């Protein structure tokens, strides 16, 4: 597994999400985004929400170009 920079604590809610999803990523054509929540899906599944410069967006793992911080 690759080594990533570990982000500082961002509060209990985000720290709990960071156990499942990267904290800071690059996606959607090179834009940097920060984890800000999760979107509940069917049957108990969820998808991470990242805050991009233009606003929040649900990001699939296939759309992540680079993980900056875990």
Cross-strand bridge partners of residue 51:
34, 56
Q: Dihedral of CA 55/18/11/66: which sign?
A: negative
Domain range list for the chain: 12-69
| pTM reported for the whole predicted model | 0.83
Q: Are 35 and 21 in contact, with CB atoms under 8 Å apart?
A: yes
pLDDT for res 23: 93
Ranges of residues in the chain with a pLDDT under 50 are 1
Q: What is the CA radius of gyration of the chain?
A: 12
With tokens 């709990």, the residue in question is 16
The CB density around residue 58, as the number of other CB atoms within 10 Å, is 14
pLDDT for res 4: 65
pLDDT for res 14: 84
pLDDT for res 3: 66
């Amino acid at each position: 597994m690759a080594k990533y920079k570990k982000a500082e604590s961002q509060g209990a809610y985000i720290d709990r999400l960071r156990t499942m999803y990267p904290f800071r990523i690059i996606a959607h054509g090179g834009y940097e985004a920060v984890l800000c929540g999760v979107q509940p899906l069917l049957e108990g599944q969820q998808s991470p929400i990242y805050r991009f410069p233009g606003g929040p967006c649900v990001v699939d793992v296939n759309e992540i170009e680079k993980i900056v911080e875990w």
